[in-house]
Amino acid sequence: MTEKDFIPKSYPAAVEQGEVTWQSPSNIALVKYWGKLEHQIPANPSISFTLDSCRTTTKLKFQKKQKPTADFDFRLLFEGEEKDAFRPKILKFMQRVEPYLPFLKDYEFTIETSNSFPHSSGIASSASGMSALALCLMSLERQLDPEMDEEYFTRKSSFLARLGSGSACRSIEGELVVWGMHNNIYRSSDLYGVPFRDEVHDNFRNYRDTILLVDKGEKQVSSTLGHDLMNDHPYAETRFRQAHDNLDKLKKIFRSGDLSEFIKVVESEALTLHAMMMTSQPYFLLMKPNTLAIINKIFRFREETGLHLCFTLDAGANVHLLFPEKEAQETQEFIEAELKQFCQNGQYINDRVGSGAKKMA
């Protein structure tokens, strides 16, 4: 599908008012998206596990205006309270998606949103939040166009979510989602995420992700600024090629179930992401002493037990611990005994791979 396919021609139905609720999960990238071109086109393909319990719930209420106006009209409630700080991001989103959802100025909206994970935990809520909002708007569009098929609904939801926040396009479906053109991934696209349809070994079923909250503060580097650092970055081209190669490697690994190889790719991706930030101008050091302490503990744990716990990082100090279900008990004991001490207030979140967003009754 191309961008043009997402521009509707006309809507057969009329909708006066209503409401719809979606719950959409966060996701954790294994091959990282870092660097983008205009219009939220990724500089390289990425792949992520969709998560299960880290979710945003968004209710969208809509009421048709008597007459369309020149403005977007919306109220924004976050966890029950008016949240002005989030308005600019939503406004920008509406401006970006308007060509594809030409009804936006015809309605007054109330967006009520809340997260399952603790407020300001340093967990990116843009992926779950933007995907949930995109899905709500698509539900309204489906009422305006009742013949819309499921495939179009899903692809366009991901397409719109991407315009809100790149990684959000990987949160619509599960369990592994690829975003960005890759020669060896069937139907991969720069415009939206697609489920990874190749064979996946049972070792990766129900894979765990325990998120250690090392630093719950505000993000030091906004993702927009972060991605910009890859323009004119001395290692950019090599890095983008490497992401393609790592996806090829993961494709083989998912088939074979080779967990040792999985660890090599995933940890290298995380460290490369941080290496890119450390070697850009300006440069950023987003790991904290506790991030490093945790990583060293993980290395030692693997050496001593032969188990397959590994880490990945986003653009911050928190650590995502990835491990197979069959090693969950021993790993969980290790987290409680050895890693919890490095978390702010001892806080961590146990999550696992999930199947994607859900519409609520």
Residues of the shown chain interacting with ligand DP6 in the complex, contacts defined by CB under 6 A: 29, 32-34, 40, 46, 124, 126, 165-167, 223-224, 227, 273, 314-315
CB of 50 to ligand DP6, least distance (A): 12
Residue 142 vs 156, nearer CB to ligand DP6:
156
Amino acid, res. 255: R
Distance CA 274, CA 253 (A): 24
If the CB atoms of residues 140 and 295 are measured against ligand DP6, the closer one turns out to be 295
The whole-angstrom separation of Cα 320 and Cα 253 is: 20
Residue nearest to ligand DP6 (CB): 166
| Shortest distance (Å) from residue 155 CB to ligand DP6 | 18
CB of 318 to ligand DP6, least distance (A): 11
> Which amino acid appears at position 124 of this protein?
A
CB of 143 to ligand DP6, least distance (A): 28
State the nearest-atom distance from the C-beta of 64 to ligand DP6, in Å. 30
Query: In this structure, are strands 208-212 and 348-352 parallel, antiparallel, or unpaired?
Result: antiparallel
Q: Where are the alpha helices (DSSP H) in 98-235?
A: 126-144, 150-164, 223-228
* Preceding amide of 16 cis, omega within 30: no
> Looking at beta carbons only, is 96 or 340 nearer to ligand DP6?
96
Nearer to ligand DP6 among residue 36 and residue 297 (C-beta): 36
Residue showing tokens 């999930």:
354
Nearer to ligand DP6, 180 or 324 (CB): 180
- Min dist CB 238 to ligand DP6, Å, is 18
What three-state secondary structure class fits 77? strand
Contacts for 86 with CB less than 8 Å, ≥ 6 apart: 76, 78
Q: How far apart, in whole angstroms, are the C-alpha atoms of residue 90 and residue 335?
A: 37
Dist. CA 343–CA 301, nearest whole Å: 18
- Rounded CA gap, 313 and 321, in Å? 9
- Of 43 and 315, the one with the shorter C-beta distance to ligand DP6 is 315
